């Protein structure tokens, strides 16, 4: 049941993707409005599937690779819709919709059966730890997209050749503002995510910090964003520099999330390709 729902969701994200691509090519507003509607419908179905899976499994279903990817898509779409409401950032949808679709494809290609939870994960810390981090990651994904848009736009303005990008993207000021806002929301989520994880590790593994690859990479990510936040608040890092750091930071997140799971074995290896 939830698998069918998830497949339907993937399909709806695909339609959203097509609509947003149509929008950025033609600049026809209707494409963006319909695209947003489809993403919203997708998010509702996705949320329903998540709840259904929670009920069926009896635990927060963010444990396997498939579940993680699927939930990431959900979180990114939710965060996008929230930002869209506030900033009316239609073009962002053209980044978010394909990402949500790609992540949702995991439903089709990865083992998706509900399994018995490994004993170490069977804890009330699970939802707290993962929800904080996943929503934090989704916020940073928006900062990443805004960063790319910033660099594209800045390049056109510096080169003084106004092409396709110029008409489609919002102002540098708005893009940089999103960067800052994402940092203000994402950094506390990331910090709390790491802290709750550490506390949970003390209960589950008997140690707050064991230099497991995922912990190391989370720390690297944390330092990157901490540096950006600090630079912004004190010496006025902004614009290009902030955009580049947001992009680098998100690459670190992706590596922490996917690279570590697939390449570096460690305590956190619950969610590799086999499970």
Question: Which range binds other proteins by CB under 8 A, 34-42, 143-151, 168-176, 217-225?
Answer: 168-176
**Cβ contact 153:166 at 8 Å:** yes
Tell me which of 69, 112, 153, 260 binds other proteins, using CB under 8 A.
153
Dihedral angle computed from the Cα positions of residues 8, 127, 275 and 113, in that order, rounded to the nearest 10 degrees: -40
Comparison of 172 and 219: residue with beta carbon closer to other proteins: 172
Within residues 14-43, the interface with other proteins by CB under 8 A covers: 27-28
Read off φ and ψ for residue 161, nearest 5 degrees. Answer: -120, 105
172 binds other proteins (CB under 8 A): yes
**Cβ contact 126:60 at 8 Å:** yes
Comparison of 59 and 237: residue with beta carbon closer to other proteins: 237
Number of H helices, E strands in the chain: 10, 0
Question: Which range binds other proteins by CB under 8 A, 110-118, 166-174, 180-188, 202-210?
Answer: 166-174
- Helix then strand then coil, % of the chain, to nearest 5: 80, 0, 20
Comparison of 28 and 207: residue with beta carbon closer to other proteins: 28
Within residues 116-145, the interface with other proteins by CB under 8 A covers: none
Query: For residue 91, which of 36, 162, 172 has the smallest C-alpha distance?
Result: 36
Helix 239-254 to helix 172-204 angle (10° resolution) is 30
Comparison of 36 and 232: residue with beta carbon closer to other proteins: 232
Closest distance between other proteins and the C-beta of residue 61, in Å?
A: 41
Question: Which residues here bind other proteins, judged by CB under 8 A?
Answer: 27-28, 153, 157-158, 160-162, 166-167, 171-174, 177, 235-241
């Amino acid at each position: 049941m939830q698998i069918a729902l998830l497949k339907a969701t993937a399909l709806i994200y695909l339609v959203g993707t097509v609509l947003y691509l149509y929008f950025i090519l033609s600049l026809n507003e209707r494409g963006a409005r319909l695209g947003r509607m489809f993403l919203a419908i997708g998010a509702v179905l996705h949320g329903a599937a998540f709840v259904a899976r929670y009920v069926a499994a009896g635990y927060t279903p963010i444990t396997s690779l498939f579940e993680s990817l699927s939930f990431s898509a959900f979180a990114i779409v939710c965060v996008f819709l929230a930002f869209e409401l506030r900033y009316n950032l239609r073009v962002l949808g053209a980044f978010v919709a394909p990402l949500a679709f790609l992540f949702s494809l995991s439903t089709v290609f990865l083992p998706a059966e509900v399994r018995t939870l490994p004993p170490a994960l069977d804890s009330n810390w699970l939802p707290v730890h993962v929800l904080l981090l996943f929503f934090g990651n989704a916020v940073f994904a928006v900062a990443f997209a805004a960063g790319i848009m910033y660099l594209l736009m800045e390049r056109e303005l510096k080169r003084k050749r106004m092409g396709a990008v110029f008409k489609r993207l919002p102002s540098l000021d708005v893009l940089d503002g999103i960067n800052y806002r994402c940092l203000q929301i994402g950094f506390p989520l990331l910090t709390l995510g790491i802290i709750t994880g550490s506390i949970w590790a003390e209960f589950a593994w008997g140690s707050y910090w064991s230099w497991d690859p995922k912990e190391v990479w989370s720390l690297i990510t944390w330092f990157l964003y901490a540096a950006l936040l600090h630079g912004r608040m004190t010496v006025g890092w902004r614009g290009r520099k902030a955009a580049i750091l947001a992009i680098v930071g998100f690459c670190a997140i992706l590596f922490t999330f996917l690279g570590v799971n697939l390449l570096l074995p460690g305590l956190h290896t619950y969610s590799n390709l086999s499970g």
